[in-house]
């Protein structure tokens, strides 16, 4: 496919939800070894009231609920984008889930203090640790998989040029945010995983879907660099970068 054909294809794919099946054969992403969905399923089986923050289309939360030995009696989620809210409502309905549309998908959370014994979030844009601590009951568990600092740096610097690099202290800053919210850190793990794009259409769709990678991305604004990336893939067969994922498990004392 030509450059223009690949750009047009990547720009036309809907971005609703967190279903990444379209990327099959076009891109791969290594997963962290800890298995976030498995960990969620284990904890959901022991919970009575669970909340998922920034649930997207609800796909990941629904998968975790499907793995749980038992479904909590109270299943809630918040999402900040209306198209995703509709998808999540449908995905979580079989589990009695209620999804609330909020302005930014994060804080303030529209629940009373101490409502939940489990709060989850996978790839939040900016996770509200203080709010999560507020809605957690005493002894409640928080499990979050963050997009770590510098995730896909090779890709965004290829397009944007060198960017400020404060990756080194990220984990300890994150620990400080968690403890600063009054939570006890149970587990904190960091992983760097391989991402490989095999065509430009996949890159364009990814940048439209994962908006924080290149803030304000548009094809017109980055056309010259996208053409350079197209040439790179043609020469090397793919473009390789590395995502960063950080697992946080914490407990409300």
The enclosing domain of 182 has a CATH number of 3.40.50.150
Q: Is the pLDDT of residue 106 over 60?
A: no
Find the mean pLDDT for residues 80-98. 95
Q: What is the pLDDT at residue 107? A: 67
Contact (Cβ atoms closer than 8 angstroms) between residue 119 and residue 53? yes
Percentage of the chain beyond pLDDT 70 is 98
Number of domains in the chain: 1
Neighbours of 141 (CB within 10 A): 21
Residue 81 pLDDT class (50, 70, 90 cuts): confident
Percentage of the chain beyond pLDDT 90 is 88
How far does CA 145 lie from the centroid of its chain?
Answer: 7
Residue 142 pLDDT class (50, 70, 90 cuts): very high
- Both tokens of 119, joined, read 């709060």
Residue 105 pLDDT class (50, 70, 90 cuts): very low
Tokens 């590395």 -> residue: 242
Q: Is the pLDDT of residue 73 over 90?
A: yes
DSSP 101: E
Residue 16 pLDDT class (50, 70, 90 cuts): confident
Distance CA 99, CA 61 (A): 11
Q: Which residue range(s) make up the domain with 198? A: 3-251
Q: Name the residue among 103, 107, 105, 50 with its Cα closest to residue 73.
A: 50
pLDDT in tens, 181-204: 999 999 999 999 999 999 999 999
Q: What is the pLDDT at residue 52? A: 98
SS3 per residue for 57-87: CCHHHHHHHHHCCCCCCEEEEEECCHHHHHH
Can you list the positions of beta strands (E) in the chain? 27-29, 49-53, 74-79, 98-101, 116-122, 136-147, 184-197, 239-251
Q: Is the pLDDT of residue 252 over 80?
A: yes
pTM for the full model? Answer: 0.92
Find the mean pLDDT for residues 78-101. 95
């Amino acid at each position: 496919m030509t450059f223009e054909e690949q750009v047009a294809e990547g720009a036309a794919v809907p971005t609703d939800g967190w279903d990444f099946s379209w990327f099959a054969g076009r891109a791969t992403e290594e997963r962290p070894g800890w298995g976030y969905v498995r960990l969620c399923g284990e904890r959901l089986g022991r919970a009575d009231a669970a909340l998922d923050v920034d649930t997207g289309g609800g796909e990941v939360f629904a998968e975790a609920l499907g793995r749980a030995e038992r479904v909590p009696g109270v299943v809630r989620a918040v999402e900040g984008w209306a198209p995703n809210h509709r998808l999540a409502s449908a995905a979580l309905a079989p589990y009695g889930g209620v999804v609330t549309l909020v302005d930014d998908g994060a804080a303030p959370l529209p629940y009373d203090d101490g409502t939940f014994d489990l709060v989850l979030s996978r790839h939040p844009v900016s996770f509200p640790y203080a709010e999560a601590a507020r809605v957690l009951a005493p002894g409640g568990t928080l499990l979050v998989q963050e997009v770590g600092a510098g995730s896909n740096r090779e890709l965004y610097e290829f397009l944007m040029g060198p960017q400020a690099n404060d990756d080194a202290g990220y984990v300890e800053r994150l620990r400080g945010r968690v403890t600063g919210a009054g939570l006890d850190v149970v587990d904190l793990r960091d992983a760097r995983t391989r991402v490989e794009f095999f065509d430009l259409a996949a890159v364009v769709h990814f940048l439209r879907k994962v908006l924080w990678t290149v803030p304000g991305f548009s094809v017109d604004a980055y056309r010259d660099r996208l053409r350079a990336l197209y040439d790179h893939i043609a020469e090397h067969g793919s473009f390789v970068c590395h995502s960063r994922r950080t697992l946080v498990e914490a407990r409300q004392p």
